[in-house]
Amino acid sequence: MNQIRQWHAPARVNLIGEHTDYSGGLALPIAIDRGITIKARRRNDDTTHVWSLGQQAQFHHAGAETVTGWAAYLAGIAWALNEKGIQPPALDLVLESDIPVGAGLSSSAALTCATALAMTAFAGVTFDREQIALIAAKAENDYVGAPTGLLDQFSVCFAEADHALLLDFSTDIPSAISIPAQWTQTGLTLAVIDTTSRHSHATGGYRTRREEVERAAAELGIEALGRVSLDQVVSLSDPVLKARTQHVFTENARVRGAAKAMRENNWDVFGSMLTASHNSLRDDFHVSCPELDAAVEIALAQGALGARMTGGGFGGCAIALIETGRVDELRSALESAYEARGWSRPEVFWVSPSAGARELPWHGQGNDVG
């Protein structure tokens, strides 16, 4: 009988520090109490079979086939391990998820990190959190073709319950410092507003923004835009590159301010940093959209201490730090405003800082993974 094992990888909410990871800057994410669980068992051939939400896919571990669609994220892990000289066995995989897909909560990083944990375990290889994150990033960047930074994978792998992560991307391997996240102790809730508008990092504006950041750094003669000085920001003549650079420069300052406010439980200052971040993402980095702007404006009108879009942008989710007793009022106000504008109904839920990717005990019976 083949042994069944299971792993869980959380989604993440980036509190602040957007489009700064690939710029060599700072970010402050949390893992949340939503995620992907993978149940796995070894197969006796060379074809991995995957089931998820009524969909089925499969891919061979040998050969040069190119897998497309959602299964590419799993096939990319097998490919990335092969690139390191590790041949993972074929598996039966069943995926369960409560992450809204495409919402900017990093469902892809949760999927790749959970898959990497499963495949390395069945291959008899022990990887630390850093190695798992890098394998997941390689699969997403080089196999799937999504030009993401390392924020999502390191958030998923290094997160701790009841803490945020201050991530510093100024070196090749980010550093991570845990900071207690204690807003609930003062009667606050971190609400997530899923606008239900969607985006594609692999083919959309995310790629363009990353190219613009790289062009700005090259024009300034610096290795990464996160190292830019104020004098260098104002020296740029191209208005687009100047705006992108101004966002990176000011966003790094906001992350430092938000981390300090979080350590001091100064939630008014923390909230002001969130809102300022959204304004910069809207006006300088141009990655917001009408649905996200409306979510932020309505949250602030309902008494939120701060609100911003989260994730790569062009749709997806916003977050709002608001008194717990006002969450239902926020939901009603959003639903009414979106309906009046002819938009899809938004989803509002609250999240808690949660632990990172890990193996879970298996309490099932027999070899049934379904």
Residues serving a catalytic function are 152
Distances (CA, A) of 154 to 9, 164, 165, 239: 11, 12, 9, 33
Separate counts of helices (H) and strands (E) for the chain: 10, 12
Q: Measure the CA angle with vertex 335, ends 204 and 104; round to 5°.
A: 30
Give the three-state DSSP class for 287: coil
- Alpha-carbon Rg for the chain, nearest whole angstrom, is 21
> DSSP character for 317?
E
Concatenating the DSSP letter of every residue in 51-103 gives EETTEEEEEESSS-----GGGHHHHHHHHHHHHTT--PPPEEEEEEE-SPTTS
Token duo for residue 236: 């740029």
Residue 89 dihedral angles phi and psi, to the nearest 5°: -70, 160
CB 275 within 8 A of CB 308: yes
CA 140 to chain centre: 12
Token duo for residue 247: 């966002």
As a residue count, the chain comes to 370
Q: By C-alpha distance, which of 99, 158, 91, 141 is closest to 120?
A: 91
